[in-house]
Amino acid sequence: MASLISCPHCGTRPKEEFAIRGDATPLRPSSMASDEAWHDYVHLRTNPRGRVREHWQHVAGCRRWLVVERDNLSHAVFSVTDAATEVDR
């Protein structure tokens, strides 16, 4: 059975219509942050097992960026929100 993602704009679609960007949890440092803070933000990522929040783009549909909460072991999708509505998470 194909994995499905419920786009808030286009409805339920196969995951092949989406492109993943990666972890949606790191907070962008301020423009005046240290080089070390920027290095950590750009290059260092955790690779947790289980439930994660990720940025996905609906490339074959509305082209909007979404935040998808899913289990990276079972690929079960728990929630999908428009990334534009995410405020400083």
Q: Where are the domains of the chain?
A: 1-24+51-89
In terms of DSSP H, where are the helices of 1-82?
A: 35-43
- pLDDT at residue 88 greater than cutoff 80: no
CA angle 11, 56, 45 (to 5 degrees): 155
Look up the pTM and report it: 0.82
Mean pLDDT of 3-18: 95
* Amino acid letter, 17: E
The pLDDT confidence band at residue 87, using thresholds 50, 70 and 90, is low
Kindly report, residue by residue over 29-76, the tens digit of the pLDDT.
999 999 999 999 999 988 889 999 999 999 999 999 999 999 999 989
C-alpha–C-alpha distance, residues 51 and 70, integer Å = 5
**Contact (Cβ atoms closer than 8 angstroms) between residue 85 and residue 44:** no
Under CATH, what is the fold of the domain 1-24+51-89? Folate-binding fold (3.30.2270)
pLDDT of residue 1: 45
**Greater pLDDT, 57 or 22:** 57
C-alpha–C-alpha distance, residues 38 and 27, integer Å = 11
pLDDT of residue 86: 75
